[in-house]
Amino acid sequence: MNATGGGRIDMHRIAVLAMLGFLVFGIYYNTLGNPPTNWDDPALFSNQNLHSLSLENLARVFSFHDGATFQPIRDISYMIDFTLWKNDPVLGIHLHTILLYYFMIIALWLFLLELFKAFDVAEDRAFLWGTIATVIYAVHPVHVESVAWLYARKEPLLGIFTFASLWTFLKGRDGRTGCSLASLALLGLAVLSKPTALVIPAVMIIIDLALQAHKPDSAYWRKRALIFIPMLILVVPLLARLILMMSSAGGIKPYHGGSFWTNLLAVSQICISYLGLIGITLIYTADYPLTLYTSIHQWQAWAYVALNLAIIVSAIAAYLRGRHIYAVFVAWFYIFILPVAHIFPIAQIMADRYALLPSLSWCVLLGFLISALWGKRLACRYVSPDLPRLLAIAVLSVVVLSYAAMTVRQNTLWQSSERLWENTVARYPNSSPGNVNLAVIYIGQGRYEAAQELCLNAVRALPYDYLAISNLALAQVMMGQYDNAIHNYRTALRLRPDLYKARFGMANAYWAKRDYAQAFQAYTSTLRTNPHLENSFYGGLILSRLGYAAWKLGKGPESDAYLARAARLTGTYPAVLQELAGVYTSMGNDVLALKAYQDLLKVTNDGRKQKELQERIQALRP
């Protein structure tokens, strides 16, 4: 290609990059004002380790912890946000996520152009096909959760490093060692962003096999072994650790249908359901509870198996007929969907964020059809030869504008937790996450009976949902149903022994019931099993109540020790001072109660509260 042609192509690339930027920032602009949701976002803002970029915090995120995923790249990205956006970290996180999504789209575009080039697709056709597929992918509404949800940062990070790793992998196939090493490094960054990236080598192997069939190389296996053997040595142990971690943390749930074999029928149905989610869904929500067909006697189960077999057979037939790109992207869909298709059952049956990478297969197929229509020319004197191109432009416009409108509309659901979960429960009344999270909101609003019904719905849908059971108990405590609450807290703890909020809640139920002996044991157990709580607000509350319970049980020295430990937290947590003041009053210790109320008055700015405190102080003065 001459210099002029090269300059023209460069300008085309610059134009595409600008257009992609306009699309991404345009359709996600209305997420910038969205507040955090109550769906894991509180964990983001309560985790002080993420709130500053320091060596100490870096050491923590690069440390393995039992029962926890290892995603340091995600955590570091949050540290950057909290460091740069101290006054408004929510806005900073939204902007950062949109920017990462844009970078992911660029990496995807470069990967597709390189892939089509490797399969000898004509340069103009490859550019058009790759650009159309990328544009459709950029605006696809199934990606909203991965961008609008603050806690979904790992998704665009995974996308960036996946596409960049595959791009450099393709560039390294001609023997460029630097590209192969870069691909391995980028694979590592993808795994450190989200562990499901461990399936990327499977995609690389499929691409390699397809390229070998397209252009046979007698030295193929020897050359590729030098790349894949070290990669698999890295990936296989990490995959085993991920499965063990999920099991120990309670992330792996009971098999659907009761056994491994019945569960495979659920996997088959879930795979097809994701195709429907990506290709034909018009209204998206935060959860999709399915009625799973897991009996060999149900015809629906075998219908889903047949659909999967038909798709796989079509891919094999395409591969044998030399249509390798189609075969690659069928494999792409299954490889990236299998980790979340419930081979190992997890909490949610389906979620939009799990479709982020699998959805590329649909977008590439649409891109192929539209670009093929674009390239057609009619040889009919009664019809313009450019009619197919006009039709292609019309189809592309309808798809892009429809997807963009759906995305913008979906963004608005994330404007409040209540709106998000009420929409989910309205569409899927048996959604466990929807019922649980909406119940938490209703408890905060004092709507305890409504919250109780939501939690019962969640438990009926998923009997092992310990969060639903724990929240049910909380609603019952607020309604004075202490015995029911204690029973449900015990059930939640049997399902998840390390759920400290359930243990703490059970202690609160005993406290409200005035069963101070049981409350003392429960609060002591909470601190013993969760020592990190002692220096938090919860720790101050627990220590204050332990002090009072010990006093009620005639354990004077222990009472004094607990109250002294609680008093050390009052400078950090004024609410602990409030609790201590009430405890001292109940104990009849007017001197310490008076001092606590006086100290509390100094840090209180609310006029009504100040008046109440002054009245208490006046009553306690000799």
Element (DSSP H or E) covering residue 167: helix 154-171
In our burial notation (b when 16+ CB lie closer than 10 A, e otherwise), range 240-260 reads eebeebbeeebbbbebbbeee
* Angle of helix 220-248 versus helix 200-214 axis, rounded to 10: 160
Pair 57, 50: CB distance under 8 Å: yes
In our burial notation (b when 16+ CB lie closer than 10 A, e otherwise), range 176-202 reads eeebbebbbebbbbbbbbbbbbbbbbb
pLDDT of residue 439: 96
Question: Cβ contacts of residue 601 below 8 Å, gap of 6+?
Answer: 610, 613, 614, 617
Q: How far is CA 224 from CA 319, 567, 584, in A?
A: 20, 65, 73
Distance CA 597, CA 590 (A): 10
The alpha carbon torsion through 305, 311, 315, 316 (nearest 10 deg) reads: 40
1, pLDDT greater than 70: no
pTM over cut 0.85: yes
Distance CA 114, CA 94 (A): 30
Summarize pLDDT for 339-360 with one digit per residue, the tens: 999 999 988 999 999 999 999 9
Burial class (CB in 10 A: 0-12, 13-18, 19+), 125: middle
pLDDT of residue 575: 86
Summarize pLDDT for 181-200 with one digit per residue, the tens: 999 999 999 999 999 999 99
Amino acid at 26: G
Closest CA to 442 of 454, 459, 429, 431: 454
pLDDT of residue 249: 64
Amino acid at 319: Y
Give the pLDDT mean for 275-296.
95
Summarize pLDDT for 514-533 with one digit per residue, the tens: 999 999 999 999 999 988 88
The single-letter DSSP state of residue 313 is H
Q: How far is CA 30 from CA 13, 188, 232, 531, in A?
A: 27, 33, 42, 42
Distance CA 528, CA 507 (A): 13
Q: Is 105 left (phi over 0), alpha (psi -120 to 50) or beta?
A: alpha
Percent pLDDT > 70 in the chain is 97
| pLDDT band per the 50, 70, 90 thresholds, residue 614 | confident
Distance CA 195, CA 69 (A): 8
Distance CA 186, CA 179 (A): 10
Distance CA 579, CA 540 (A): 8
Q: What SS3 state is found at 64?
A: coil
The alpha carbon torsion through 244, 246, 249, 251 (nearest 10 deg) reads: -150
The residue behind tokens 């429809």 is 402
Q: φ, ψ for residue 322 (rounded to 5)?
A: 90, 5
- The token pair at 64 is 């393995």
Closest CA to 532 of 46, 63, 81: 46
Pair 538, 545: CB distance under 8 Å: no
- The token pair at 71 is 């995603």
Length of the chain equals: 622
Collect contacts of 385-391 with beta carbons under 8 A, ≥24 apart.
Answer: none
Distance CA 380, CA 387 (A): 11
| pLDDT band per the 50, 70, 90 thresholds, residue 66 | low
Closest CA to 525 of 548, 564, 493: 493
Q: How far is CA 574 from the centre of its chain?
A: 34
Q: What share of the chain is helix, strand, coil (3-state, %, to 5)?
A: 75, 0, 25
Domain with CATH 1.25.40.10 in the chain: 530-622
271, pLDDT greater than 60: yes
DSSP-assigned states of every residue in 601-622: HHT---HHHHHHHHHHHHHH--
Within 393-481, strands assigned E span none
Summarize pLDDT for 482-521 with one digit per residue, the tens: 999 999 999 999 998 989 899 999 999 999 999 999 999 9
Question: Cβ contacts of residue 125 below 8 Å, gap of 6+?
Answer: 116, 371, 375
| Residue spans of alpha helices (H) in 414-447 | 417-427, 432-444
598, pLDDT greater than 90: no
Return the minimum-mean-pLDDT range out of 20-24, 215-219, 449-453: 215-219
| Residue spans of alpha helices (H) in 172-298 | 177-193, 200-214, 220-248, 260-279
pLDDT of residue 347: 84
Q: Is the dihedral of CA 112, 118, 121, 125 positive or negative?
A: positive
| pLDDT band per the 50, 70, 90 thresholds, residue 68 | low
Distance CA 409, CA 153 (A): 21
70 compared with 333, residue with greater pLDDT: 333
Distance CA 170, CA 148 (A): 32
Distance CA 575, CA 552 (A): 22
- The token pair at 141 is 């509404």
Distance CA 577, CA 444 (A): 23
Closest CA to 462 of 369, 384, 345, 366: 345
pLDDT of residue 428: 95
**Which of 1.25.40.10, 3.50.50.60, 3.40.640.10, 3.30.1490.20 would CATH assign to domain 530-622?**
1.25.40.10
Element (DSSP H or E) covering residue 402: helix 387-413
Q: CA neighbours within 13 Å on the CB side: how many for 378?
A: 13
